[in-house]
Structure 1
Amino acid sequence: MASTKTDSVSVFAEGTYEEQIQELVNYIVRSRSDEERAAFIRPFQESLKNEKGSKPLAEDSERRKQLLSMVLDEVKGLGDGNEKEIEGFFNLLLAHFLTLYTLDSPEGTQRLHTLLETVAKAPPEHISIKYRVLSNLFNALPRNSPSRLAVYNTLLDLATSNDELSVLQISQDDVRTWLSEWAISQEQKTAFLKRIIDAYNTFGQPIPAYQYSLILVKFLPPGSPDSTTTVVDVIATALRLPTTFDFDSLLKIDGVIAVKTHELFSLLQVFLNGGLKEFIAWEASHPGALEKYNLKKTELERKIRLLALSSLGFKYVGQDLAYSKVAEALQIDISEVEKWVIDVIRAGLLVGKLSQTQQTLHIIRSTARTFEKEQWEVLEKRLLAWKAGLASVLEVVASARRAGGGGVPHASAQTQTA
């Protein structure tokens, strides 16, 4: 049985179905003249009459659906009410619509798309209520309903056309959840992700566009033409973005591994494990590649130097790193060391303290580009050193206790100072 769990509960207005239909009709014709109003209402009044011997309307779903269809045919816009009235009208209309129509039927699908188009094309001064009506509909639909895709695409188009993408407050977690719940095809899922990516790129927000591209790559069959094109673009974007330094997780995606023969894959490996020397060698062996993928040499050199400094710092956590070693690793003059250290700290890759007098950088924390056997061995050595230091402190405390009560406060003070 299909799930009918939704994110909201439909609450019908008080009164019988006949009274609720009359309420909807009266809202539609409220701004018309008395003569037009009377002519408009007459067919509904005739349809609401119970013929002798016929089933009561409450027991006749086909008649109720026919009446609602007559109402839906007359919904040409949002109406002339205030925002509260508009929202109330559509909430009541949609509650009956979702009750009486099967959304995966051709008729239900067509009715839904007509309603979405009607709301979306309403005058721009009603933008806030349009968002609310569409959001209410989205939340009223079952979580696994494929119709949620159509509703959210309408919301996305509305926000994009009004330069208000932030209004939707899209989150990657929500998108992942929706894609796992909606009963839609793989092609529809990838098309939806591409739509989100295009929206962010349109507004000049490459970082969220890149993050959704990572989700997209995982949905595409590894090695397929669409996957290869997307992966190459993702790698180029990751290299291009000045604040993106995590390449390890990228190289763990099946779709990325599938393009291991591509020239950008080898460049990605340089940024994961190499330094400036390896980057220069790669560029020499791939003439014209940087221009081909819109990559700037100066920006890549900056990024590879920051990564190299971060990797070097990881080996010296808790120790002093000489300026000369930094200059050698980055292939820079020793007078430029402090500038690069400040840059790597600002990038969030390293935390440390500079000593101009001693020409050293004391490393407090540093980020490893990857965490393989070598990094685990470094971490093991630090833990063993920390364990030995802790054992030494405990021995001092134990010695003080053995010496008597008078020595305990003194030992404690020494321990705190240490």
Structure 2
Amino acid sequence: MEPQPNFRSAVGGVRRRYSDPGPQDNSTPYRFSEVDSAPQTTPSLSESVASGHPSSTRQYDSRSPTRLTVEEAIKKLQELLKQKRRLDKPTKKMPQLFFVDGTFAELAQAMADIVQVGDQVKPMLEKDQKEDALAAIVKASIHLNSIAEKDYNPSYNLLIYLVLEFAQDPKKYLPTMCGNILKPITSSPQHHFALASNALTTIFNTLDEKNPLRYNVFVQMVRLVKANNAYDLLKPSLMNLKDWLKSWDTDEEAQRNLFVELAEVASEGGDDEESYEFLKKALGTFDADDKEELTSEEAQRIALRAVRMGLLSNNTYLFQDLCALPAVQALADSHPVYSNLLDIFNEQDLEDYNDFKEENKGFLEQEKLDDAKLERKMRLLTFASLAASSPNREISYDAIAKALQIPMNQVELWAIDVIRATLVEGRLSQQQKVFLIHRVTYRVFAMKQWRELDTRLHQVKDTFVQLAAVVRRQQTEVNAQKERDQAEIERKLANVNLGEGQRGDRRGGRGGFGGKPRDAPAPKERDDNDD
């Protein structure tokens, strides 16, 4: 985002500087450069006592006629510590987003001259009628849409500052300001979105993060995005929407209106999946115990729209969460055919869908529902149901062809499609003509599915018990074999030692009678002949 130019008023030479907007943290859709006020230091406990700070207490003087008991001294010390903690506790203050020099009268007069109501506002300022002056300036703020492009955002920054800083009730001025911002900027039509979004986000970020007025400003931002088909720019900030609505304490009706607006923006932006999610959130804001509200025209309209979008979506295959919404369940009385069709896609199969078409001929064409798209989705869902109900984790080609009502040579193509739809994971065995199931997504998870899960868990348990028995048996055999091998090694070592002993005895008995060794010859004395 380009830096905003400095703006100097020609009236009275009042100097004003405005901060440059930029990206902000995750609590706001964009960041503005924030300049915090000078940090306020809290005096230490000793400083408080010495300087007469509100937290100070009278020091104990042994010469004072009033002496404190131990209990009184402890009590006073506890009070002193509480006061210190209260003073040391950091206070959260809204960062200052503007640098503005000048009094209210000077700034308001300069703003009035810009929007061409200077003569009207001047006597009000002389009488110190701030509210009347602000009302006249805001009413005439439509003139900002025709000033030079370089002065648009600085002028709006000044107007925002005057309203939020000096108005007794900024709420009554913001709708007019936001409405004027959304109107075309005649001086720069090609940059309307950038200029208008900058002004709106300045208002949004200047308001305290818990201020409910932020909701109204955000709605205007959504409408601006919708008018300019810029959903991709808004989408990253929507991750904070849940926290924003909670901090603004937004009621259910206001949430519903916003969700419906966002659903339209996402749909026009090509994100049908997000649009479908926003519609479900909008349906969730209706009171489940208020039958009149559930059957209202608004509830039925949103419910039908969500059902249609879910059925025709290329990425939506599971409808259990949609069917669980009370507003959708109320369609069974007001729109029974739609309700029946949704039930089929929720937990029934292709044969039931074909029966529905026979019983309600012309319904799909009348409601502009694409039969080819619905039939394809129904075949994929039928494949998923077939895989989920398979007891041995495999399906024959014949069973697939029969359930999907397709020729045998198309089974592998549909198996690939159902894997791409992430409904089933597995592999094809062309040799055995079966589809081996690795994982399957249940379309509904009710009592029947819980029973199946219980059965499979018991099967897994039995398998592990059998496996543990085999491991223990093999371990016993291994230990027995080790013992046998050890005994064999010890036996062989014993035989080797015995054989060596016998050979030694035989070598020691050579040359003597009876096995006794002969005496060694006496050494010969040395004489002269030895030389």
Into which bin does the TM-score normalised by the smaller protein fall? 0.7 to 0.9
CA distance in 2, matches of 1:146, 1:46: 30
Question: Which residue of 2 is the match for residue 169 of structure 1?
Answer: 235
Q: Give how far 1:371 is off.
A: 0.4
Query: C-alpha distance in 1, partners of 2:251/2:426?
Result: 50
Q: Secondary structure at the residue paired with 2:331?
A: coil
1:243 aligned partner: 315
Change in 2 beyond 3 A, CA 1:209/1:171: farther
Q: Which runs of 5+ in 2 are unaligned?
A: 1-26, 29-33, 35-93, 287-292, 483-531
Counterpart in the other structure of 1:11: 96
The answer as to whether partners of 1:351 and 1:365 remain within 8 angstroms in 2 is yes
CA distance in 1 between partners of 2:311 and 2:276 (Å): 11
Cα distance per residue 1:11-46 (max 9 Å; x no partner): 05557652x87578769979xxxxx9xx969x8799
Q: Which residue of 2 aligns with 1:313?
A: 387
8 Å CA contact 1:236–1:293 kept in 2: the answer is: no
Secondary structure of the structure 2 residue equivalent to 1:266: helix
1:338 is aligned to 412
Answer yes or no: is 1:328 the counterpart of 2:402. yes
- State the distance in 2 between where 1:72 and 1:334 align: 73
**Structure having the higher Rg:** 2
The whole-number CA distance in structure 2 between the counterparts of 1:339 and 1:311 is 17
Q: What is the 5 A alignment of 1:38-53?
A: none
Using CA pairs under 8 Å that are at least 6 residues apart, name the structure with larger relative contact order, 1 or 2. 1
Aligned with residue 296 of structure 2, among 224, 236, 250: 224
Q: 2:339 aligns with which of 251, 265, 268?
A: 265
Equivalent residues of 2:245, 2:255 under 8 A apart: yes
Q: Report if the CA contact (8 A) 1:309-1:330 is conserved.
A: yes
In structure 2, what residue type is equivalent to 1:372?
A
Matched, 1:234 2:296: no
The code of the aligned residue for 1:242 comes to: N
Gaps of at least 5 residues in structure 1 are 1-5, 31-35, 52-61, 408-418
**Aligned residues of 2:134 and 2:167 also touching (Cα < 8 A):** no
Bigger mean CA deviation after superposition, 129-138 or 362-371: 129-138
- The answer (yes or no) to whether the contact 1:186–1:219 under 8 Å persists in 2 is yes
Aligned to 1:127, the other structure's residue is in SS state: helix
- Once residues 88 and 405 of structure 1 are traced to their aligned partners in structure 2, the CA distance between those partners, rounded to angstroms, is 91
Q: In 1, are the aligned partners of 2:425 and 2:440 still within 8 Å (CA)?
A: yes
Mapped to 2, the partners of 1:229 and 1:117 lie a distance apart of 28
Q: How much does 1:181 deviate?
A: 4.9
Higher alpha-carbon deviation: 235-244 or 353-362: 235-244
Displacement of 1:186 after TM fit?
5.1
| Counterpart in the other structure of 1:99 | 165
- In structure 1, the residue matched to 2:202 is 136
1:159 partner letter = V
Cα distance change, pair 188–342 in 1 and its aligned pair in 2 (3 A): same
- The two structures, once aligned, show a CA RMSD in angstroms of 3.8
> Structure 1 residues 137 and 249 mapped into 2: Cα distance closer, same or farther (>3 Å)?
same
Q: Is the 8 Å Cα contact of residues 354 and 361 (structure 1) preserved in structure 2? A: yes
Per-residue displacement from partner, 1:23-79 (whole Å, max 9, x unpaired)?
A: 78769979xxxxx9xx969x879958xx9xxxxxxxxxx666667667656753276
SS for the counterpart of 1:169 is helix
| Cα deviation 1:269-297 (Å, max 9, x = unaligned) | 11222212111111111122112221122
Distance 1:160 1:15 in 2: 33
Question: By how many angstroms is 1:234 displaced?
Answer: 2.1
- Relative distance call for 1:171 and 1:391 in structure 2 (3 A) is farther
The answer to whether the Cα contact below 8 Å between 1:317 and 1:365 also exists between their aligned partners in 2 is no
One-letter code aligned to 1:141: L
Cα distance change, pair 326–15 in 1 and its aligned pair in 2 (3 A): closer
What secondary structure is seen at the aligned counterpart in 1 of 2:173? helix
1:369, CA displacement in angstroms? 0.8
Runs ≥4 residues deviating over 6 A? 23-30, 43-46
CA offsets 1:188-233 (integer angstroms, 9 cap, x no match)? 4443333323333444543332222212222342122222232223
Is contact 2:144-2:155 (8 Å) kept? Answer: no
Identity, in percent, stands at 23
Following the alignment from structure 1 to structure 2, what is the Cα–Cα distance between the partners of residues 68 and 366? Answer: 64
Q: Matches of 1:381 and 1:167 in 2, distance apart? A: 49
Distance 1:284 1:45, change over 3 A: closer
- 1:359 corresponds to: 433
In 2, distance between residues paired with 1:348 and 1:365?
10
1:113 aligns with 2:113: no
Retained in 1: the 8 A contact 2:425–2:438? yes
What is the one-letter code of the residue matched to 1:273? E
Aligned length: 377
Look up the match of 1:252. Answer: 324
User: Quick one: which of 343, 354, 372 aligns to 1:280?
Assistant: 354
